[in-house]
Structure 1
């Protein structure tokens, strides 16, 4: 049976680094909280003056094609998954980012569309492209995202005035781009990808224009967002899914897990809950949170690219990706990695 496989991965990180200590020093607070200790984010990358969501996405897409055996003209589909869609100072809805990327890349044959699903955007794009390849509607395609999301940190620095503020999570984000090329295979590849949305939690993390002044802002109720009931959305669904397949978490034999990069301590708690719920050890985690922060929809594939570049993932490794997105979106993606060049 034909399934999709990750044929190539690309990522782009802006050159400029800003530390958490530097951000906190700009706050108008006498004793700001120890955000680095609370989040695990030591630094993040921030766009240059000439960079925006589009240029960052394009750089990641070009990187993926450099690592691929395909040319842009070979792609049947391009799916853009950016939360932020800036070109210069403008936020673009039309034409679609996917169309603009198709034109810039020269992928003239490709069907193109945008998907928006918060920080689960790229996993949503992979779910759709995987389905298109399995059904025979496409042979190969690209899922890409460019996130220029640090303007919410700029707003937070200007507006935070108390030690517990709904904008504190904004100080953990970083700019990045990622792209992945999928093609069809009869061998190892994407085993399954499942996403589910629980709208009861939707109000806990909202991006919108600032309610205090100019600029965009992110408002997160961290105390309500990060608790066991929310984390069980992943474990309960995956346990049911695997049981229906006659399998278990231990039976799947995952070599690595990649969580959404949002909080080191929270991920540690999630893994403890997962070990209790699955009755099995959670595999070693791969992460870049400390040096790149939360890069929104790109985070899983920024981690994957970084691990491949460092030689931490070898061909045949089975990787579990676990999203955590506003909406609230949970789920899981299982993929066996083939020979990938980075």
Structure 2
């Protein structure tokens, strides 16, 4: 599998921790007494410190998800030296979307002019991109497609940020909300003689689905599990019990890595982790005995960009020269679901 291009784009509005704290205190002041407001501020700042959150990018007025995603798609085509009709398959991978049906991939197949490509979606929360990479690799090895583009448009943060708390009881399932950033990525892949280097393994604990979810109007009838959320559920309102999710997800990711010695024996030159939290990522690296100098910790740079976080980090590493042709590359992701994912391959660029 050869990476003909891997590109990313951020929206232009930079939101700082101070912006968030000021807004949370202002919007919650109608409900919380002064003592609770001070406690809330301390809790939010502690959350940012432990995760390493500093800034996140959100869309400015006039910026749209589709325009930014089309921009990064064109960047990827230019970087790969390809034209739109060279793409055989488009996979949309991610949480961010404006429609339930049809596939979000149909939007970008049209807007990017990929007139020869068929298109569909892959969705597995923050593991969506590594899942899509796995699907793409299988298609390439089978010879089903020649050139595949993976696109994601994680632009939900500006819409789901909720600054108003009516009770401190909401904090445990609310605080990850304000560590979410926005980004779009486009990756173009083709088959190569080095395809034999690819390896991946996925595990899922569906019983933990209530640790992080986004309910729809039909949630109660479909979820198959009772949930008790302080403050009540609201349609499309992000619910994430961050501490419990990180504890369970990182523990399972470490166990996953230790259970399969071949990933350690791979001796990765570069390690990319999902950027939900730099603190959690450092814990995983330490617990797995990985040299931290080989890993990127990017949460501090752009917060949690959901399924875009791994390709964003890889794109930045390619631009800086940190990720070079032939580097043994390991991807490690723990995602809501809960899913853990390990992916290893030799990186080969255009």
TM-score by length of 2: 0.84
* Residue number in structure 2 paired with 1:162: 168
Instruction: Write out per-residue CA displacement over residues 78-134 of structure 1, whole angstroms, 9 at most, x where no aligned residue.
Output: 000121212xxxxx1233221121111111111110111111111111111110111
2:344 to 314, 334, 338: 334
Is the alpha carbon distance of 1:129 and 1:190 closer, same or farther for their aligned partners in structure 2, counting shifts above 3 Å? farther
**What stretches of structure 2 of length at least 5 have no aligned partner?**
29-36, 217-228
Q: How large is the RMSD of aligned CA atoms in angstroms?
A: 2.3
Q: State how 1:57-68 maps to structure 2 within 5 Å.
A: 57-68=69-80
Aligned counterparts of 2:48 and 2:257: Cα–Cα separation in 1: 31
Give the aligned partner of residue 109 of structure 1: 116
- The reply on whether 1:127 has 2:134 as its aligned counterpart is yes
For residues 140-159 of structure 1, what are the structure 2 equivalents within 5 Å? 140-151=147-158, 153-155=160-162, 157-159=163-165
Contact 2:253–2:284 (Cα < 8 Å) also in 1: no
Equivalent position to 2:269, from 247, 251, 255: 255
Q: Which runs of 5+ in 1 are unaligned?
A: 87-91
TM-score (normalizing by structure 1): 0.86
Q: 1:63 to 1:160 in 2, by over 3 A?
A: farther
Which whole-Å CA distance do the structure 2 matches of 1:189 and 1:48 have between them? 43
Whole-Å separation in 2 of the counterparts to 1:62 and 1:93? 25
Moved over 6 A (4+): none
The reply on whether 1:192 has 2:189 as its aligned counterpart is no
1:226 is matched with 246
Query: What CA distance in whole angstroms lies between the structure 2 residues aligned with 1:301 and 1:115?
Result: 15
- Which of 57-66 and 326-335 deviates more? 57-66
Which residue in 1 is equivalent to 2:38? 30
Q: 1:121 to 1:290 in 2, by over 3 A?
A: same
Contact 1:80 1:115 in 2 (8 A): yes
Correspondence list, 1:304-323, <5 A: 304-323=314-333
Which of 14, 17, 22 in structure 2 is aligned with 1:17?
14
The answer as to whether partners of 2:72 and 2:186 remain within 8 angstroms in 1 is: yes
Cα separation, partners in 2 of 1:237 and 1:36, compared to 1, 3 Å: closer
Where 2:80 maps in the other structure, the secondary structure is: coil
Q: 1:223 deviation in Å?
A: 3.2
Number of aligned residue pairs: 321
CA–CA distance in structure 1, aligned partners of residues 67 and 232 of structure 2: 29
**Relative to structure 1, is the Cα distance of residues 241 and 76 closer, same or farther in structure 2, using a 3 angstrom cutoff?**
farther
Residue 205 of structure 1 aligns with which residue? 212
Please give the residue correspondences for 1:33-112 in structure 2 after superposition, counting only pairs within 5 Å.
33=43, 34=45, 35-86=47-98, 92-112=99-119
CA distance in structure 2 between the partners assigned to 1:205 and 1:40 by the alignment: 20
Tell me which protein shows more helix as a share of its residues.
2
1:193-239 Cα offsets, whole Å, 9 max, x none, are 22221112211111226965877322222332222x53243233344
**Hey, what's the Cα distance between the residues in 1 that align with 2:344 and 2:293?**
13
CA change 1:169–1:318 in 2 (3 A) is: same
CA deviation map 1:132-152 (0-9, x unaligned): 111111111111100112146
